[in-house]
Chain A
């Protein structure tokens, strides 16, 4: 039962791609080796990766595939044999299945006698199976971006493949790819290991690499890095490094043998905003920031090396030098930028493209300003505290930082830089400090949330501005027909829509999605951009798009069950604050016994109504209580008006829990109804009225959620028909 070890040696694979690529490849190989089905299941497999290698080990493979036995039927016996003599037909059949003439037997079938043979297909040797699978999977592995390096007739891969190690037990598997033949020779770390080193057998792989300066296991590298970051940070009393999972993942995938060094910078740079310093360190230099116990930035950084040490201190010196230059640049940009105020920059936005068909950021600014003001008005009318004047001012300046040197250099600081400049510049002679603070906060926050983990804008004003900005982008793109599909979403419209949903929900804004988006669309009226609009089904496509976003938010972010989400969104998906509140209420009551049976009953009612309409049965326009005959149905009908009244009163004050409990009180009456009353009777009038009773129930009590969407485990009632 040998192990199979494979190592694909590459030039440096991009850090952001390697984990997914390695896992997919290992998975595909493991799956491929287990096909066809009689092949034994691989009990255990491992996958490792570094920037220069993807490795996997499949444990305990059999020496060969099992043989497969089958019975084959050939030509008619009379055609195959003339007397004792086999004809060409018999010879061909025997040859095709690799059996001798003497092994052919007579098979009786209803259609007559035929030639048959027991055929044993020998399982291939595992070495051949593995070779085939690996060669196929290498050729077919998906990468976000691939390249040629040996010319157009040759293979594509994420980066050039330079060596392959493939061992089945002690033996080399002669895999060929990219003009290479597999061997047992791997390579050590570029600078601290031997150029070549042999792997004798799979079990020794990790150890051989370790002694060649390579930690093949990414989880081990992460542990090493975290420990080293801790240790280096501890050399400064009271300091700690700023946790940054994404950055840790990046450096894990940039190193074969990580170590950490501490560097420092001149404390005078701490006068620059922390946002700028951290961005330079993290995004441009991949350094970890260090802070004191109060979270205040310290003039130090940590960097992860792809080598064992910095004995001479040259690496530290070099990195400090680079950071100094970067910080000097940032300071220079900061100072240069103050020569023009944000207000003066508004005009410069005319020459910054927003999108080629949607015009400049100047035009966008004017649209967003109007849209934001309109949304602010809606918010204000609902009685929420909001200052439309702040939003109006902030919207005008929000995009002006795109013309600053600092944002041109550090694009990820857009918005933040505008906010910081709005803090330090004089925006208006008469402006009160609190107003200025609110304006700058709104600008600072207006790209937020940039992901579902990111926070929403701090203030209502920032929230409204953020929504208006994103809604304007989505409206323009959708109107142009640039709708995200599958993995294609070049303008990150999904992320922006998720941002709108999250912001409305967390600020509990009284904004309805369809109205926001119709409003956003209307701001393009009469513009040059509008002439290029092609999407005639704007409202529908936007509604469908946001419905998906809302589902995602309620399910994946808020954690409501999918059936609850379906139930509440079936009623309305426009007012998402309300939808979230309803989802919360339904989630709370759904597990109660009464509610479960209400759900079952509603499903039943809907089925009956559907079947009735399929059979074109008449449903009475209005239920006539006098036409009802049995006590249970009369009781149920009598309960409806007062329950409706109570539910509606509770619903209007958003007391959804109580409203649902009120509905649940109908349970005994409904159960009794179904136990004693047959709906689909022959009497037309009676049937029409009973259907009307059900219709009334479904209609009146589906205003919070469509209970029939709730999944009830194994308690589905059989449908009455």
Chain B
């Protein structure tokens, strides 16, 4: 490769630089979530963290698996599994766009020498009951980041709003290294020997084998079965939570902080993945498709509502308006339970 190549960041350096950038700005650097997801948004660090009132800043690399996008490792621009750097800034700082542009400078992009545009691109996920308003960030004609102000997630209106920055790491790195194929990206370079390990060395087998499996071998029957089992388990958990969270006779809400909503969300993610797999297999008919998406959304929405209740249901009342509301709560209690007083 040419000389500019050896000056530019390796794939892993790119990730480290971006993580360091956000760490220096107070973000939690999380590790990738270890359940299959179709996008970084689906990891609980986004899906659940954007709900509720608590401020949060987090950045993490998330492998994003989209079975239908697989190309058997033959297409230089498309992958079954690609890596995103997902950043959540809740609430977004006033200078969030400038902050983002600084992150580009931090990975060696001289903003004065390039053409950067923020072009309208609103994001929506019917499966998650989520949508937001934002842009695709174009760098010399290349879409490098999806920038979204989240408005709703799991059917819940968000307050505060979160800014979500999703960097397409392979694209960004291929741009920096000026290579035409993702597989030619230098992933690591041994500082002593200069020996390079390419993206293809690390990941090509993945792409070949999973493409083959996803398109040709994944057993439709058993995938449907797994979908249904996960769905049933998840539904049961959501249903149980609803029953348990009913106020007790004394008007107190029971403490359900132990209740396994996080595992329920994992089950929902699995459903989503099995759906994607069945879709890639061409096993979902017209009439089924919309219905199956609605089934996954029902799980996501159910969990989001339950999560709000579990995490913020009780605190919200007392936190929000402080002393005054506590006293009204007491008064109400008095009125409601005259027999016990």
Contacts and interface: CB of A to CB of B under 8 A. Distances in A.
Given A14-B120, A16-B120, A305-B115, A329 B77 contact: yes
Contacts of B132: 147
Given A150-B161, A322-B141, A311 B76 contact: no
Contacts of A318: 114-115, 139-142, 175
B44 interface: no
Interface in B111-140: 111-120, 122, 132-133, 135, 139-140
Q: Among the interface residues B161, B175, B286, which one has the most CB atoms of the partner chain A within 10 A?
A: B286
A323 B141 contact: yes
Contact of A147 (B94, B139, B149, B285): B149
Contacts of B76: 325, 328
B151 A306 contact: no
Q: Among the interface residues A15, A314, A319, A352, which one has the most CB atoms of the partner chain B within 10 A?
A: A314
A374 B160 CA distance: 59
A303 B141 contact: yes
B149 A353 contact: no
A328 B151 CA distance: 36
B112 to A, nearest CB: 6
B178 A321 contact: yes
B248 to A, nearest CB: 30
A82 interface: no
Contacts of A153: 159
B240 interface: no
A306 to B, nearest CB: 5
A562 B77 CA distance: 55
Nearest to B137: A12
Nearest to B111: A191
Contact of A254 (B112, B117, B149, B159): B117
Contacts of A305: 115
A150 B94 CA distance: 9
B101 to A, nearest CB: 7
B160 A151 contact: yes
Q: Among the interface residues B111, B115, B118, which one has the most CB atoms of the partner chain A within 10 A?
A: B115
Contacts of B318: none
Contacts of B119: 12, 15, 254
Interface string A292-326: 00000000000101110011101101110111110
Interface string A366-390: 0000000000000000000000000
Interface in B154-197: 157-161, 175, 178, 180
B91 interface: yes
A350 B286 contact: yes
Nearest to A147: B133
Name the interface size band of chain B: 35 or more
B138 to A, nearest CB: 9
B227 to A, nearest CB: 18
B286 A351 contact: yes
Interface in A139-165: 145, 147-153, 159-160, 162
Contacts of B114: 307, 314-315, 318
B92 A149 contact: yes
B271 to A, nearest CB: 21
A632 interface: no
Contacts of A12: 117-120, 135
A630 to B, nearest CB: 75
A359 interface: yes
A314 B113 contact: yes
B161 A151 contact: yes
Contacts of A315: 113-115, 140
B97 interface: yes
B77 A306 contact: no
Given A319-B140, A356-B290, A332 B75 contact: yes
Interface in A1-45: 11-12, 14-17
A234 to B, nearest CB: 22
A457 interface: no
Interface string B64-77: 00000000000111
Contacts of A151: 91, 159-161
Given A147-B151, A151-B160, A315-B140, A321 B115 contact: no
A190 B113 CA distance: 13
Contacts of B159: 148, 151-153
A76 interface: no
A353 B289 contact: yes
Contact of B77 (A150, A312, A328): A328
B120 A311 contact: no
B130 to A, nearest CB: 14
Interface string A330-361: 00100000000000000000111100100110
B75 A314 contact: no
Interface string B183-214: 00000000000000000000000000000000
B26 interface: no
Nearest to A354: B286
A585 to B, nearest CB: 48
Nearest to B289: A353
Interface in B289-306: 289-290
Given A152-B157, A190-B101, A319-B141, A145 B282 contact: no
Contact of B112 (A148, A192, A306, A319): A192
A451 interface: no
A11 B95 CA distance: 10
A311 B114 CA distance: 10
B143 to A, nearest CB: 9
Given A148-B161, A306-B117, A353-B290, 13 more contacts: A147-B161, A148-B149, A150-B91, A159-B133, A191-B111, A287-B141, A306-B115, A314-B113, A315-B114, A315-B140, A319-B141, A328-B77, A329-B78
15 contacts: A147-B149, A150-B91, A150-B161, A151-B159, A254-B119, A285-B141, A287-B141, A307-B115, A310-B115, A312-B113, A315-B114, A318-B115, A321-B178, A351-B285, A353-B286
Interface of A: 11-12, 14-17, 51, 145, 147-153, 159-160, 162, 190-192, 254-255, 285, 287, 303, 305-307, 310-312, 314-315, 317-319, 321-325, 328-329, 332, 350-353, 356, 359-360
